[in-house]
Each structure stands twice: as structure tokens, then as C-alpha cells.
Structure 1
Amino acid sequence: MKRKLTYGGEDQELSDSDSRTPAIHYGNKLFEPIHFLRCHSKKNDPADVQTQVWQCAFEPDMNSPGHNTNLVATCGGNSVCLIDAVTGGVVKKFYSEQSSVLLFSLAWTTMHPGGGRRCNILAVGGSKCYLQLILPSKSCSLLSSTTFLNSIGFNKMKDHISCMGFHPSRRNVLFCGGSSGFIAALDIAQCHPWSDSPEPKLPQLLLSVFTHSEVFSLSFSKNANILLSGCNSGLFGWVMDEIKWEKNVQPHQRRLSSIEFELPEMTDEKLAEMDSDDNNLVDSVVCIPESTLVATKCALRGVIYIWDVKATLENSAISYKKSDFKGARLKISPVKYLRWSDTDDYFMAMGCSPDGNLLGCGDDEGGVWLYNLCSNVAEHKAKRAKKNDDDLLLKEPYQRLLWPSSLEDPEVQNARKVKRLEGHGGVIDQVSMCVTQSGSIHLAAVTSTNLVCIWRAFDDEGFQSRDESSD
């Protein structure tokens, strides 16, 4: 049988033990497609393949830190959907205040407003500096004024919030990256309705930094205490060792100098194929949980770099004390090179499992590339020391999820005004993974053709990953 599309106020810092995720062996895991939904359609048009769904993220499990629930949040067009990955049903749907506002980014956090209470908050950002904070359990939200963003360089009419993420320990600190090059850290602890404040308060600006180019991706390394940003002009970072998050410190007193991380040099042949403006474009960066490793994807290079940010900082001769640090350029030395698609398309964001052992990234043909990061990094370092040949380190994905050839899309096929998709679902804009307390594993991906795709993992004892067999 062919599958068919369905339509449809206190200190937030947590201890390391609160967020530890048990490691899972992915070597014998296979994924099967179970749900494909078109739930962000404009005017509920089931044949809408124009609306892009940009990001997805699984809800954290409040009662089991380091795990997820079955709910995945997705944003695209002017709406946010909460989808049950098991049933494939849209549980809740939220819309932007203005239909002209498009939503590009989202991030989850778990707040502790006091009295032993916990609640999950979903932050959503979009065009016109739009910021929305959603409390799904009460189906309510707070729409934020852009006045405080305008004061640090964001332009309401021109700029959009393209990426965001919460501090992994201080769960009330939200980082927002904008198309103008600004990154703002906001305190949402006293925002209504999850706080004890009698009146709703807007997010408070804690600090801001400027990258001089559009920001595409943000990720925070808890173990290295650094914020990393993938930008149009490269990869940048800000060490947070001396940041004082207390409320009586003014934003201008939290000044940081940026570190530019230099990417590995490319061959002359590869450079000849690229536009000079694209040489250093970093469209996705992910700090691997439970480690100091970082996955970095540069547009048009066909490779994902895995490198150690803490080792990079420690091996430099630069002091990062605020009193004498004036900025730096540091070269990264990858410990792994992961082969990825040779596509000339941009903006396909990576996702990582909560335990840090499985990395995924989509391509422009509806496929998802999966990499098993469990293999010994020290072994690859030794190989690199013996043989200075990057090609010998280039690792293939241990599994590729291809677009299901049997998937039917009757609404699109019957709509004369819509060009039929050519054998695949379009560009995979982002991949996200969840591990529930019961041990079930799901993978979600969102596409440029208005689709939310969900896969489920199952055990195959006879399966051995290509990555493991090649070590």
C-alpha cells in the first residue's frame, strides 16, 4: 500500500546531572518514513507547495531532562504547528499577529518560574523583527515589541530574526540572530504568563554583538562556554567566561570581542567553482551535546567539518580576559571530515540527537544524510598526524534516508495550476531528532515545498553502519 500525504523568575541554571542524556548505539538503527504533512498551507490550500517550512525542534521533556516528548514544533509561512510525531496529528497551531509576517526560526526552553513549577516555552522569530513567546500548555503567547531591538541596530521594516537558541544552562537567556548582523541576548524570565509578575513584561536586553554580515545559525557550547554563529562572511564566536548575568548589570557593561574561526583551505579546483562571496559562507553550525565538538557546514563545499572548539581555544596563545582581549583569528583543525552533498544550494540546517551521537543534514533532493559520531575521535587524530591527507579522513554517512518513491501527493497532482514535484520533496531546510524517555527515536525534517516529514527508528540486528565497518 502506498503512503499518502495527510493534511492537516528564578535562577534558571541547571546542574550537569540534570541534563545528562544516556548514550544510544545507533549502529543498528534504521529509519522508516511514517508521516508526511502539509500543515502550513496558505489559506489551507492542500496543493500549496510554495510555502517554505524553515525550522523544526522537538519539545524537551520537563520530567526527564535530556529527553524529548513526542511533540515537534515547526514554523513556516505565518504559522507554528505542534505535531505529535507518533500519530502524525497537528495538536495545536499558532499564527503570527500579522498575516504578512513570515516565521523563520524557533527554539524551546524549560522554565522554572518558582514554587516547584516547570513549563516549556517556545520562542518563535520572523520577519519585521517579530518575536513571539508561546506557552503551549495554556495555548497562550506574548507578542514582543520591537522597540528594544531597534535600539541596538535591528530595523523593524527590513530585518528578520533568522535564528535563535537558548543558553543551555541559563534557560531564561534567549539568543536571537538577525539579518542585519546583530545578535541579541534577551532575558525572558519575567515575561507573562509563566512568571510570578502581576503584569506581563517584555524581554530584557542583556547584551548584543555585531557580526558585520547576515547571521544564519546560532549554537552554544555548554562545555566550552562559547556562543558560535554561522554567518555570510564566516564563523564567529564569543567566549562567555566573564559574563555576569545578574540583573543589575547594564548591557553595555557586558562587552565581548568576537573570535573569527578560519575555515580549512580549499583546493584550487574547488575555489574555481565558487563565487568569491561564497567562499566562507557558513549556513549551519551545531555544538555537539555532551562534548566540546562542533559540526560546521559551509555552503557549496560538500563537506561537514567536525572540530574541537575547546582545544582550539586552549592551543591558541591568546588570553580571553576582557581586559586584554581585542579579538582574534583562529584556525580550526577538523578531527573528522564528513562527506555531504555537492549541491550548489544553501541553507540546509543540521540537527543532532540529544546524546550527541547522531548528526543529520538534509539535501536539495528530499534526502537526509545521517552520521554516526560514536567512533573514536582520537583514532582520527592519530591518522591525521601520520598522513596529512584530508581525503583519507573523509567519512561517508552511515545511512541516507531517500525520498520515498511510493509517496503519493494527489492534491498536488490534481491541481493544474501547480507544477508537479519532480520525484522528490524539495530542499530539506532543517533536521531535528528526539529521544523519548521510553527510548523511542524519531526524526523530523521540514522542506521548501511546505512539508513536515517524520521518520521512526527501529532496530535491525543485521545492519552495520558503513562508518563503523570502515574504521
Structure 2
Amino acid sequence: MPAAKILGKDEFPEFQYKPAHQFMRCHSHNDDPADGETKIWRCAFEPDPSDSCKWTGIVATCGGSYICLIDSHKGECKAKLLQHEDQYFDVIWCTVQFADGINTNVLAAAGAEGRVTLIHPSKNKMFAHLPVFKKAYISCLRSHPANVNWLFCGADHGKIALIDTGLTGSSNYDISWQKIKMFSCTGTDIIQMIVKDSWLISAAQKGCYVWKMKNVSKDREDQTHDCQLAFPVASTADNYCDGISLLDDSTVAIKFSKGASIFIWSLSILSKKLTPVMNVKPDLILPWVKTSEIYIDITSRDGLLVAGDHKGNILLYSIGEFLKNKSAYGDTETPRCTVLWPALKPDTSDPINKRLKKIDNPPLINHASLSPDMKYLIACTDNNLVCIWSRADIASATKQ
């Protein structure tokens, strides 16, 4: 099985990211700068409403009771929205047209209260709270690839709700939302999910589940999962399937909390007749880290796979060549580089930060993601830090 080659700085310079700004603690409970307990779960890059291939430089982060909007270029928190009774676990951007016909970015966030909060960031306004689930929290959100109004909402009781936010064409924030369909694999926490064509695939506490989605315009009956995918890992109750990412139109990466590996596999396996359990032979196995920690996400962007770890580090895997020609890849080693956790000291010149202490123990990286232009690497930690790295060549040009 092909392995991963660990590269030095000179061998793969485009892998090099450096801290761009002082790491930010903007989700603190009661604005306490010494809060090292709040967990930051996700970040999402704001798309340019007129060109989805570009972005605005703003990244939304969620953790605790706050949604923050951060200027990645300047390292500044531009807005901080609070909802006291909620704890946010995921956030996602939607570009819609209100009644005025102008493309507008709306932020959707969800978490412990089982509802989706809709936010108009340009006006710093939370304008709707959609009660999707009554007795479950929402751990992940995913947009529908064909309808900007539709969101998949994955919950801790093994259900995924497809909802219509009703945003398009609405005016004065007067929306009429509805639940369209429910997908279920009862008894397991839906941790993350991907959507491709008619396939809905979840990473969940008890494994990886697949639904072949029917035409929801004609069939809105609740749908149980069609199959569970089995990977070459120990099948134990504490080995969560906690990370999944769509690498291209036909390739998926998946991770288990105690697997110490990331598995790359092809959606083509689903072209076979579906059975209750289907064994997957990965096309590529990438070494990750050995840890007992859970909920460490994986993401990808333009041939780079990103995975944090429990020691504050971020692993970057260059899989572009593999994706271009899988059959010819053979035993080629996959380039890998690790962005190491830096030594941090608080800026005590600011009176507010005098209560901060040096962070001696590196945090767990819950989530790390590359910006659409690949210039920034953003990480969310379990000790209330939003970390911004910039690509080394960008950082050097800025200083000149």
C-alpha cells in the first residue's frame, strides 16, 4: 500500500505556513480572556457573493455561545454575535437572493438547541431560529448541491433533516421554512457528512452510513440508511468515525478516531448492488496519529488534505497527483508536511491580556481548513483559540 513521505521545508516549499497574526481568543465566555475551556468547532470562509470561486477574506467561526466574523488578512474580529441559550457546533455560508434580487450572503449556524440560526452578517443580525429538532443537538450542516435554500442538518440521535430555509425571494426577513425529508440511522451521533449527486454519506459514532437519496419532489417519506461501509479498522464502541471529506467528484477521505490512518476510497463502490454492510478496500491509506481523542475533523482543498491532531499540529497531505492518475500511482509515496504548534506568549502590553498565561500544553485541533485561495490556514482548537497561518511566501512578501 502506498505510504506517505515526510518532507523537509526545501523539498515542498508550498506546504509552508507561518502564524499570520497573534492567535485569537474571541469566543470567551463573558469576554474573559483567560477562558481556556471554550471549544471552537468549525470555521467557514465567506464566498464572494458575485463570484463563488473567490472569497471576501472573512472567516466565520463557531464555539460556545458565539459566532465570530474574522478578517483573515488583518487578524481582527469584525463582529461577535451572541445567543446565550445555545452552544454552536457548525456554521455554513449560503448565497441567496432576497426579494431585491441581489446576491446576499447569509450565515447558518446550529448546535446544542437543535435549531438553525440564520444570520445577515452585513447587518450583524440574527433574524431567524428554525427549530429543526426538539430533543437533539445539531452537530453538522451541509448545503444541498442543487438548491441554495436546502440544508442538511445532522443530529446526535442518528437523524439528518433536509430543510428548506425559504430564504430566496423573502423580504424583511419574513421566511417560511419547512422540513422536507428525514434520513435516519437510529442510535448513533451524526458527526459529519458529505453530499455528492444522489449520495448522502455520514461519518457517525458507530461508523459510516450511506443513503441513496430519492427524488424528494416526489418522495418525502423518511428514509433509513441503505448500507453501512466497513473499513479495515477495529470495530469498537469507542472508535468513532469522526471525519469525512469529498476530495473530488469521485473520491472520499474518511477517518476513525483510533485508526491512526486516513482512508482514501472511491464512490464507484456504490455502483454495485448495495448490501446492509459493504467492505471497502481503500485506494490509499495515509498515516495519521495515534490518539484516543475524538471529533478531530478532516478537510480538503485543491489536492491538499488537512488533518489536525491532539498536540496542536496540522498535517498536510499532497494528494493531487494521486487524484489525477490513481491507477498509475502504484507505490508512490504521498508527500506530507506537518505545521507544528508554535510557542505562544500573551501580549501583556494590552491590559486586557495581563490575566493570560503562557500556553504550555498544545491544544487539540478540532478543525483546520484552507482558504479558497490557499493563502490562509485556519484552525479551531479545544482551548478557545482561532489560529491563522498564512502561506510562507505571502507572509514574506507582506513584510517586505
Q: 1:145 to 1:59 in 2, by over 3 A?
A: closer
**Cα offset for 1:197?**
4.8
Distance in 2 (alpha carbons) for counterparts of 1:397 and 1:41: 37
Residues 314-338 of structure 1: CA deviation (Å, up to 9, x unaligned): 2x134xxxxxxxx632222211111
Alignment partner, residue 376 of structure 2: 442
* Counterpart check, 1:162 vs 2:139: yes
- Report the equivalent of 2:158: 181
**Percent of aligned pairs sharing the same letter:** 29
Aligned residue for 1:313, secondary structure, equals helix
Residues 89 and 111, structure 2, Cα contact 8 Å, conserved in 1? yes
Equivalent residue letter for 1:161: I
Which of 114, 118, 121 in structure 2 is aligned with 1:133? 118
Question: What is the DSSP-based 3-state SS (H/G/I as helix, E as strand, rest coil) of the residue aligned with 1:172?
Answer: strand
**Structure 1's 134 and 376: CA in aligned 2 closer, same or farther, altered over 3 A?**
same
Q: Tell me by how many angstroms 1:457 deviates.
A: 1.3
Cα distance in 1 for residues equivalent to 2:318 and 2:255: 16
How far, CA to CA, are the matches of 1:423 and 1:103 in structure 2? 25
Q: Quick one: structure 1 residues 243 and 34, their matched pair in 2 at CA, closer, same or farther if it must change by over 3 Å?
A: same
Q: Which residue number in structure 2 is paired with residue 282 of structure 1?
A: 241
What CA deviation, in whole Å up to 9, does each residue of 1:355-396 have, x standing for no partner? x31111111111100011211347654676xxxxxxx68x66
Which one of the candidate residues 176, 187, 191 is aligned to 1:216? 191
The 1:373–1:261 alpha-carbon spacing in structure 2 relative to 1, beyond 3 Å, is farther
3-state DSSP of counterpart to 1:47: coil
The alignment yields a C-alpha RMSD, in angstroms, of 2.6
Distance 2:76 2:257 in 1: 34
- Name the stretch that deviates more: 196-205 or 343-352: 196-205
1:428 matched to 2:377 = no
In 2: Cα distance, 1:57 partner to 1:308 partner: 26
Structure with the higher fraction of residues in strand conformation: 2
Q: Work out whether residues 145 and 202 of structure 1, in 8 Å CA contact, stay in contact via their aligned partners in 2.
A: no
Q: How does 1:42-441 map to 2 (within 5 A)?
A: 42-96=29-83, 99-113=84-98, 116-146=101-131, 149=132, 154-156=133-135, 159-188=136-165, 190-191=166-167, 195-197=169-171, 200-212=174-186, 213-221=188-196, 224-240=197-213, 242-245=214-217, 251-252=220-221, 255-266=222-233, 271=234, 276-279=236-239, 281-288=240-247, 290-309=248-267, 311-314=268-271, 316-318=272-274, 328-353=276-301, 356-377=302-323, 381=327, 398-405=336-343, 407-409=344-346, 415=355, 421-424=359-362, 426-436=363-373, 441=375
How far apart in 2 are the matches of 1:293 and 1:27? 26
Q: Check the 8 A contact 2:184/2:223 in 1, yes or no.
A: no
Whether contact under 8 Å (2:244, 2:252) holds in the other structure is yes
Aligned residue for 1:201, secondary structure, equals coil
C-alpha distance in structure 1 between counterparts of 2:281 and 2:13, whole Å: 27
Can you list the C-alpha shifts for 1:242-292, whole angstroms capped at 9, x where unaligned? 4134xxx5732xx434233433224xxxx4xxx82134x21011112x421
Are 2:16 and 2:339, in contact at CA under 8 Å, matched by a contact in 1? Answer: no
Alignment partner of 1:171: what SS?
A: strand
Distance 1:300 1:183, change over 3 A: same
CA drift of 1:183 comes to 0.6
Secondary structure of the corresponding residue to residue 67 of structure 1: strand
- Unaligned runs of 5+ residues in structure 2 are 1-11, 395-400
Residues of 2 paired with 1:399 and 1:133: CA distance?
37
SS in 1 for 2:237: helix
Q: TM-score, normalised by structure 2?
A: 0.86
Instruction: Please report the TM-score for the alignment, with normalisation by the length of structure 1.
Output: 0.74
Provide the C-alpha distance between the structure 2 equivalents of 1:265 and 1:250, rounded to a whole number of angstroms. 35
Find the aligned partners of 2:357 and 2:223 in 1 and give their Cα distance: 49
Task: Tell me the SS of whatever aligns to 2:122.
Answer: helix
Q: Mark the runs of 5 or more structure 1 residues left unpaired by the alignment.
A: 1-25, 319-326, 385-391, 461-471
The amino acid of 1:337's aligned partner reads I
Q: For residue 231 of structure 2, what is the amino acid of its counterpart?
A: P
Q: Find the residue that maps to 2:360 and give its secondary structure.
A: coil
* Structure 1 residue 128 displacement after superposition: 2.0
Task: Tell me the distance in 2 between the aligned counterparts of 1:87 and 1:120.
Answer: 21
Alignment of 1:19-34 (within 5 A): 28-34=14-20
Cα deviation, 1:126-165, whole Å, max 9, x if unaligned, reads 112132011112322233242xx3xxxx433xx2111111
Tell me, in whole angstroms, the C-alpha distance in 2 between the residues paired with 1:121 and 1:44: 25
* SS class of match (2:269): helix
Deviation at 1:196, TM superposition (A): 3.1
Equivalents in 1 of 2:175, 2:266: separation in Å?
Answer: 39
8 Å contact kept, 1:335–1:381: no
One-letter amino acid of the counterpart of residue 344, structure 1: S
After superposition, the Cα gap between the structure-2 partners of 1:422 and 1:199, relative to the gap in structure 1 and judged at 3 Å, is closer
Superimposed CA distance per residue, residues 2-22 of structure 1 (whole angstroms, 9 cap, x where no aligned partner)? xxxxxxxxxxxxxxxxxxxxx
